[in-house]
Amino acid sequence: MSKKAVPKTCVVSDVLRKLDQLDSQIEEVVKKLGYLKKTFKAIQEDPLEEICPDEIEANRATQDIIQEICLESLLDIEPKGDA
């Protein structure tokens, strides 16, 4: 039962390569965490206003009424000229 001897340079180079990969992954996580911190701080400083569903319905109703008024006023205009 003989075991093949693995050269230490091969093992060390694999470990170093994996450490480099971990280092780059850690840098990426740090960047993403920094972005999340900035985003949450911005939200905390200027929170978004909560909009009531009734307000949304009222805005839609107002828009529909304005649209109807505009269409009716366009239909009431008498054509001018030969067109």
Q: What is the pLDDT of residues 49-80, one digit of tens each?
A: 667 788 889 988 999 898 888 888 877 777 66
- Residue 21 CA to residue 35 CA, distance in Å, equals 21
The whole model's pTM is what?
A: 0.42
DSSP code of residue 1 = -
DSSP 50-72: P--HHHHHHHHHHHHHHHHHHHH
Phi, psi of 18 (to 5 degrees): -65, -35
Q: What is the pLDDT of residues 25-47, one digit of tens each?
A: 888 888 888 888 888 787 777 66
- Residue 45 CA to residue 43 CA, distance in Å, equals 5
DSSP helix/strand/coil, 77: coil
- Residue 34 CA to residue 39 CA, distance in Å, equals 9
